[in-house]
Amino acid sequence: MPRSANSTPRRKIQADNYTFNSPELKVNGARGEKLTLSSDLLALGDTNLNYSAGVWVKETQVRATFGNLFFILDGGSPYKYAFTIRSEITGKLGVNFWDSTNNPSLYSSVSYPRNTWYHIAFTREGRAVKLYIDGQLQNSTTISASLGVATGTSLRLVGTSAAFAGNMCKTFVYGRVLTADEIADIYANDNYPSGALHRAQLNEGTGTVGYDQSGNDMNFTLTTPTWSTDTVTGIRSTSLVPRKNLNNLIFNGDFEYAPAFTAATTTNAGWIDGTASGSAANAGYGWCFAKDQTASAQFDTSEKKSGNYSMKLSTLAVNSGARANQFRSTSALTAEGYMPVLPSTSYTVSGWVKTNLISGSSRGAYIRAQEFNGTSTTAIVTNETTYIPTTTDWTYYTKTFTTNSDTRFIAVGALIVGTTGTATLIMDAWFDDIVLTKTTPDTRTTA
């Protein structure tokens, strides 16, 4: 089908420093005003009933008695919608449809805690609908035969005035049924197949336009926009330096997104933010400090493998230990805050380490990847490499492992451990360019 475009120019966004947090978001003006859509999108709810859509969302609160609305293709007379991606007040996530009479829906079988990023996607193939949460098939159903949604006239996100509070980014719509592998690849690697009808990163960080990157120039017009530095795990880089690894799942693994320094963080379970007490909730830099005895953590400029910063951990007394853990959650340090990954999949963790051993000989500094099954905060597997008690220069190490069949999250951490037996380990350790990548070869075929 031919594609038409509106007159607003598009641009390619290079970095993922921001997501969209808005009191209200509209499409090309006032809510309900028709947007000039491509004919491909116009047909999704009418003649073409094979399509897919998705969005990253992070709810901070429920704004209406039924839950929150996120992403909608709506229109027609009487009012209808081809789809709406939303949540229930119970925390279940899903998609539903409306033809002015019938309202079939498909929700997750479990509830998801708020204040956490989730990737929600669905496919529709005629009557068959599949729901994917964080890259995994969560539920499926067959919707009513009578559903025949009329031509869509408005593609929009929904601001708080229409029942949403939180952050959104990375919307997409395809005029075909994406495969499970393609949806998993979008979720885990931010890798989108070609041929999108609409795709907006919503990471501009400034201005009043959310640019469409699909080539169809269907840009969101943002009313009183607010931009947030709270971004999705694994697909964020900074404007300070180029991304070193486009597939790195770790947010701020090169530590180039750093706070102004006041003091090393010494408070246990404090988010590292350039102050001694740290932050009670995620300060936006992605790393949380934990310790045994006397220790500290900071983003450091004195030693770095590349760029402007590294992560410095210091053990300052006998039997001390220090850990900097990478989370995606903004509050509770639970399994929901860890790195979302795929089960039975090969991953590689790597990084650079340098230390200045002052005393002691037991264990040392290392990078750890712990696997979690999503239902418990107890690690089921710990993948770690050789301890480095002392180095005179930066040392690189890496390990490749296959996740368990029930693995759903990985927690990556930089550590100094010196509490074994009676040995002491008082030292500084610097970490830089920590990377977690999915290493399973891509075996997909294209039609």
DSSP symbols for 308-337: S-EEEEEE-STT-EEEEEE-S-SS--SGGG
Give the single-character DSSP code of 246.
T
pTM: 0.55
Are residues 194 and 106 both part of a single domain?
yes
Q: 421: left (phi > 0), else alpha (psi -120 to 50), else beta?
A: left
Q: How many CA atoms lie within 13 A of 249 on its CB side?
A: 26
Strand partners, 369: 383, 412
Q: 7 or 298: whose pLDDT is higher? A: 298
Range of the domain at 210: 19-228
Q: Which of 35, 41, 119 is nearest to 82 (CA)?
A: 41
Are residues 186 and 330 both part of a single domain?
no
- On whether residue 259 sits in a domain, the answer given is no
Domain boundary among 228, 261, 287: 228
- On whether residue 254 sits in a domain, the answer given is no
Q: What are the structure tokens assigned to 415, written together?
A: 């550590």
Residue 131 is predicted with a pLDDT of 95
Strand partners, 431: 311, 353
Are residues 326 and 402 both part of a single domain?
yes
Q: 23 or 414: whose pLDDT is higher? A: 414
Residue 384 is predicted with a pLDDT of 78
Across 325-334, 376-385, 436-445, the highest mean pLDDT is recorded for 376-385
- On whether residue 152 sits in a domain, the answer given is yes
CB 84 within 8 A of CB 99: no
Are residues 290 and 147 both part of a single domain?
no
Give per-residue pLDDT as tens, 171-221: 999 989 999 889 988 887 788 999 998 898 888 888 888 888 888 878 887
Residue 408 is predicted with a pLDDT of 80
Are residues 75 and 189 both part of a single domain?
yes
Residue 428 is predicted with a pLDDT of 92
Q: What are the structure tokens assigned to 410, written together?
A: 């990985």
For residue 444, what pLDDT band results from cuts at 50, 70 and 90? very low
**Cβ neighbours of residue 170 under 8 Å, at least 6 residues apart?**
54, 55, 56, 190, 199, 200, 201, 202, 203, 232, 235
| CA separation, residue 63 to residues 89, 161, 231 (Å) | 9, 8, 22
Domain boundary among 228, 254, 281: 228
Determine phi and psi for 89, rounding to 5 degrees.
-65, -20
Give per-residue pLDDT as tens, 126-178: 889 999 988 888 899 998 755 555 555 677 777 545 557 788 889 999 989 99
Q: 280 or 374: whose pLDDT is higher? A: 280
Are residues 80 and 140 both part of a single domain?
yes
Are residues 205 and 59 both part of a single domain?
yes
CATH number of domain containing 420: 2.60.120.260
| CA separation, residue 94 to residues 91, 184, 228, 368 (Å) | 10, 17, 24, 34
Burial environment of residue 377 by CB neighbours within 10 A (0 to 12, 13 to 18, 19 or more)? middle
Domains: count for the chain: 2
Average the pLDDT over each of 27-41, 187-201, 205-219, 275-289 and give the range with the smallest value.
27-41
Determine phi and psi for 426, rounding to 5 degrees.
-100, 120
Give per-residue pLDDT as tens, 311-354: 999 988 877 889 998 865 443 344 445 777 888 889 999 999 99
| CA 213 to the chain's CA centroid | 19
CATH number of domain containing 39: 2.60.120.200
Are residues 298 and 406 both part of a single domain?
yes
Q: State the Cα–Cα distance between residues 327 and 211, nearest whole angstrom.
A: 29
- On whether residue 213 sits in a domain, the answer given is yes
Are residues 321 and 185 both part of a single domain?
no
Q: Which of 249, 248, 87, 100 is nearest to 168 (CA)?
A: 87
Q: State the Cα–Cα distance between residues 286 and 293, nearest whole angstrom.
A: 23
For the chain, first and last CA: distance in Å? 18
Share of residues in the chain with pLDDT > 90 (%) = 21
Residue 150 is predicted with a pLDDT of 53
Q: Is the pLDDT of residue 421 over 70?
A: no
Q: Is the pLDDT of residue 438 over 70?
A: yes
Strand partners, 437: 348
pLDDT mean over 263-292: 87
Q: What are the structure tokens assigned to 209, written together?
A: 């336009």
- On whether residue 9 sits in a domain, the answer given is no
For residue 68, what pLDDT band results from cuts at 50, 70 and 90? confident
pLDDT mean over 3-13: 34
Q: Which residue type, as a one-letter code, is found at position 272?
A: I
Beta strands in 159-236 (DSSP E): 165-174, 198-200, 209-210, 220-221, 227-228
For residue 296, what pLDDT band results from cuts at 50, 70 and 90? very high
- On whether residue 6 sits in a domain, the answer given is no
- On whether residue 265 sits in a domain, the answer given is no
- On whether residue 444 sits in a domain, the answer given is no
Are residues 297 and 155 both part of a single domain?
no
Q: Token pair 């180029």 is at which residue?
A: 242
User: Residue 182: in which H helix or E strand, if any?
Assistant: helix 180-189
For residue 5, what pLDDT band results from cuts at 50, 70 and 90? very low
Q: State the Cα–Cα distance between residues 243 and 260, nearest whole angstrom.
A: 21
Q: State the Cα–Cα distance between residues 16 and 232, nearest whole angstrom.
A: 9
Residue 28 is predicted with a pLDDT of 42
Share of residues in the chain with pLDDT > 70 (%) = 76
pLDDT mean over 268-292: 86
Are residues 215 and 99 both part of a single domain?
yes
Are residues 223 and 291 both part of a single domain?
no
Give the single-character DSSP code of 55.
E
Q: Which of 241, 205, 275 is nearest to 20 (CA)?
A: 205
Domain boundary among 194, 228, 262: 228
